[in-house]
Amino acid sequence: MPRRIRPATLSLTTIVLCKNSPPPVFGRALKGATFAALSLLALTVLGCATVPPSERTPRDPWQRMNRGVYKFNDAFDRAIATPIARTYVRVFPQAVRTGVTNFFHNVTYPDVIVNALLQGQMEPFARDTGRFVVNTTVGIGGIFDPASHMGLSYEARDFGQTFGKWGMPSGPFVLLPLLGPSDVRDGLGRIPDAYAEPWAYIKNPYWDYGTLLFYSVAERADLLPLTDMARKTYDPYAFERNAYLQHRDFMVQGPQDQNGAEEELKQLQQQ
């Protein structure tokens, strides 16, 4: 299994495909009516973006709407998410930020364990369980990561991938307000994913939304070094879409031929 490379996006999520970590969680903090309102705003007000003829693709039939949502996400990232993440980096030293990231990776790891079992991968299931136990105990609640030094590396599994392993088609690509890139299958997978993470069981709304916000800021801060690189691409939206689709295809089907997004990323890294 490949290690998790975050869903990549130029705003909150294209650059993510270059990093090891769980999916973005900004959207998970937006529940019920709040998320519905933001979705309606992005899909109706911003859904009139033009589509370059050369960029039309069968896997992205909703591209006009998706490009509108991309503009919304990118504006939010530039105006709010990135400034908050830069402040977080200035205030907290690297050691503290690493501990925060380790803790949240560990506390969300049961999602990975459950999906290893559902995919029938018993050896990875045993390794993932061992990693979680070691980091929770020896790593003091996951603040430290001794499991990686023992050869129990971080793995990437979620319900969208599991549905793909079970034979469900991916469906069209869709860019979700604040949550970032997805497809129909992965969008459905976000529902059980949410119940495999601790926030579904926190009854106190201050702890619920507070810890989610802190986690989201920490994730965005981890991506800051890649932000400018991703924004150099000729068509950031197409780069985000292609990188995401390639990554998800790899997680479900295994290695495939390289596409334009990966080649473009390599060229940027060499600059």
Helix, strand, coil shares, percent, the chain, to 5: 65, 5, 30
What does the alpha-carbon distance between residue 235 and residue 238 come to, in Å, rounded to a whole number? 5
Which phi and psi angles does 112 have, rounded to 5°? -65, -45
Given this model, what pLDDT does residue 85 score?
A: 96
Q: What is the pLDDT along the chain (271 residues), one digit of tens a residue?
A: 333 333 333 344 433 443 444 444 444 434 443 444 444 444 444 444 555 554 678 899 999 999 999 999 999 999 999 999 999 999 999 999 999 999 999 999 999 999 999 999 999 999 999 999 999 999 999 999 999 999 999 999 999 999 999 999 999 999 999 889 999 999 999 999 999 988 888 889 899 899 989 999 999 999 888 777 777 888 889 988 999 999 999 999 987 554 544 554 555 455 4
Q: Which residue, chain included where needed, has tokens 């295809």?
A: 249
Domain ranges of the chain: 14-270
Q: Which residue type is seen at 168?
A: M
What does the alpha-carbon distance between residue 248 and residue 189 come to, in Å, rounded to a whole number? 13
Given this model, what pLDDT does residue 98 score?
A: 96
Q: How many CB atoms are located within 10 Å of the residue 144 CB?
A: 18
CB burial string 107-118: b at 16+ within 10 A, e below: bbbebbbbbbbb
Given this model, what pLDDT does residue 149 score?
A: 95
pTM of structure: 0.76
Given this model, what pLDDT does residue 56 score?
A: 73
Structure-derived torsion over alpha carbons of residues 187, 188, 189, 194, reported in degrees to the nearest 10: 90
Which phi and psi angles does 173 have, rounded to 5°? -70, 140
What does the alpha-carbon distance between residue 7 and residue 23 come to, in Å, rounded to a whole number? 6
Contact yes or no for 163/188 (Cβ under 8 A): yes
Q: Which residue, chain included where needed, has tokens 């997805």?
A: 182
